[in-house]
Amino acid sequence: MFKIIKEVRDINRLREILTVLFEEGFDFLIGKIRLKHKIPLTKRLRARIEKKKKISIEKRLRLTLERLGPTFIKFGQILSVRPDLIPKSYVKELEVLQDEVPAFPYSIVEEQIKKELGKDINEIFLNFEKKQIASASISQVHKATLKDGNIVAVKIQRPNAKEIMESDIEIMFYIAKLLEKHIPKIKKFNPIQIIEEFAKWTEKELDFKREALNAKRFAKNFSADKDVKIPKIYDELTTNKILVMEFIDGIELHNIKQIKKKGINLRPLIDKSFEVILTQVFVHGFFHADPHPGNIFITKDKKIAFVDFGIVGHFDENLKAKSIDLFYGVIENDAEKIVETLIELSDTEIENREELEYEIGDILEPLQTGDINKVKVSYILENILDIALNHGLKMPTAFVLFGKTIITLEGVAIEYDPKFNLVENSKPFIEKLIARRYNPVYVFNNFMKNMLRFKKFAEELPDQTSKALKKIEKGTIKVDIEDTDVKKLSMEIDKSGNRVAYSMLIAALLIVAALTINYGNPFILNMPLIPFLSFLVALVLLLILFFSILKEKIL
């Protein structure tokens, strides 16, 4: 008992969670983790007497999460966008989960605003609608009018939301540890890691100031795009628990009936939505990571508007390149390229690569034999992620969220227009991105970044080598390097060293040319001989270096 109290502060809540799990048919798990004694005897007897209908384990899990309340509903919703963590059958069932959380009273709204902003609600707002326009597990949203007449959406965090969620997550960690300890088969799904990720997401969502910063960054990124609308944030009225932003008057993207009723031609707007998502990911490297069509609106003036910036994804240059390769591999029906990219993304070596390639090829077969216009890329991406999970390949979270966003948008597009084809829609954009890789400016910038990384590596190498040698001398490190690995490393260092030498020589020649350009008689192009020769040699060396890098990229 002492051990449980040490790890879980709310024993009554733990007992409640275990009881719900038991009643919904997960008694075998509770028995395995040796906590059945925590369930009241009357509950155990009643569960045996009552006969449950035979329903799938996926549905039972969804019903269990709904009974356990807001924290667990939010947990299920996050799992539903993570096909890299749980099997596809569970993802499909958890997508049904809805945040049907009762709204908290208006009196509490007034208290929260007074506590956070230091003023009564009537001092800040000209009008404040008492009935909420949205209610979720973490917050609820009200429509209001500021004193200057601007209409805003006010997001108010639920009282004690942080404390309640922290307590539930604490219990989740405790149960996850017991599951990994007593059920070896469940380890491959990494329950502790899943809860850790959920805890991080929840912490971010509970900080409304972070969400405000995200929204402002999106607004800056799309400031030049007249077709995209990001709501304005009112900083002076925003705290960790209150967020005031411009009210978006529009129709949710997934509300197809309402869009058709208004006579709006959605097709160009869907095309624009895909372009905006791809731009966020592959150009900005910063994207909306809550792939729910209810977070995308069509405004009255037919703009694409985004709301709810609590969770965002980040793509660095490496992840951009790998994701483009995988996406293009799907478009071009290249199983070998997809497998190679999956392994690189997960940074994991696997023994059964041929089997993985065969399974991916099987998924891509409709692209070979069928009508490409009837192929759903969402189906292919979902299955690729499911296969990767089964082979133990852990995909970067940001990539999975991007994939889920594409899957969701394709679903909305096909519902509106059954002839919509994501392959045709995305191919020009992806090809443009691939062509950009070989743009001289892009290659040069990438080269300079690598040179800076190599400079840092060269500066740290003596200290790191000294530390490693001392460990080897003490016998505290095991060295097991194949001769081929040493040769490969040596070649890479030689190659990088040569490039650094070339760069330094080019820089020296350019400096000489600049310093001597005003000295001597004009020779060619109104330049003296020495600076002309310096510029010429520098250009030749630069071209050699450029084509060397380009050749390596292509190979």
- CB count in 10 Å sphere of residue 461: 11
Question: Domain limits of the chain?
Answer: 2-98+171-181, 101-170+182-247, 251-437, 443-554
Task: Give residue-wise pLDDT tens across range 6-48.
Answer: 566 678 888 888 888 888 888 788 888 877 777 766 666 555 5
- Please tell me which residue, 48 or 241, carries the higher pLDDT value: 241
- Pick the range with the lowest mean pLDDT from 68-77, 86-95, 179-188, 456-465: 456-465
Return the SS3 of 323. Answer: helix
Question: What confidence score (pLDDT) does residue 482 get?
Answer: 47
Average pLDDT value for residue range 51-60: 77
494: which 2 tokens? 């030689």
Question: What confidence score (pLDDT) does residue 390 get?
Answer: 83
- Pick the range with the lowest mean pLDDT from 74-78, 97-101, 103-107, 122-126: 97-101
**Listed residue (296, 255, 295, 292) closest to 416, CA to CA:** 255
Clarify whether 290 is annotated catalytic: yes
Average pLDDT value for residue range 150-163: 93
Question: What confidence score (pLDDT) does residue 107 get?
Answer: 94
| CB-based contact 420:410 (threshold 8 Å) | yes
Check the CA dihedral 36-91-349-397 and report its sign.
negative
Provide, for the chain, the percentages of residues in helix, strand and coil under a 3-state DSSP scheme, each rounded to the nearest 5: 65, 10, 25
The rounded distance, in Å, linking the Cα atoms of 254 and 292 is 9
**Is a pLDDT exceeding 80 seen at residue 377?**
no
Average pLDDT value for residue range 486-513: 64
Beta strands of 384-433 (E only): which ranges? none
Task: Give residue-wise pLDDT tens across range 291-306.
Answer: 676 788 999 888 999 9
pTM of the model: 0.70
Instruction: Name the DSSP letter for residue 143.
Output: E
Per-residue confidence band for 91, with pLDDT thresholds at 50, 70 and 90: confident
Question: What confidence score (pLDDT) does residue 154 get?
Answer: 97
Catalytic residue among 84, 168, 290, 386: 290
Average pLDDT value for residue range 202-220: 93
How would you write 73-122 as a 3-class SS string? HHHHHHHCCCCCCCCHHHHHHHCCCCCCCCCCCHHHHHHHHHHHHCCCHH
The rounded distance, in Å, linking the Cα atoms of 509 and 505 is 6
The rounded distance, in Å, linking the Cα atoms of 8 and 170 is 6
| CB-based contact 25:33 (threshold 8 Å) | no
Beta strands of 201-336 (E only): which ranges? 228-229, 242-246, 250-252, 286-288, 296-299, 304-306, 312-314
Question: What confidence score (pLDDT) does residue 168 get?
Answer: 92
Mean pLDDT of the chain: 79
Average pLDDT value for residue range 325-341: 82
Per-residue confidence band for 200, with pLDDT thresholds at 50, 70 and 90: confident
Q: Residue 70: which residues within 8 A CB-CB, separation 6 or more?
A: 99, 101, 137, 138, 158, 164, 165
161: which 2 tokens? 């939301």
The rounded distance, in Å, linking the Cα atoms of 171 and 35 is 13
Residue 222's identity, in one-letter code, is F
| CB-based contact 513:538 (threshold 8 Å) | yes
Residue 345's identity, in one-letter code, is L
Question: What confidence score (pLDDT) does residue 20 get?
Answer: 87
The rounded distance, in Å, linking the Cα atoms of 43 and 391 is 40
Residue that has been written with the tokens 């932003």 in this structure = 245
The rounded distance, in Å, linking the Cα atoms of 144 and 168 is 33
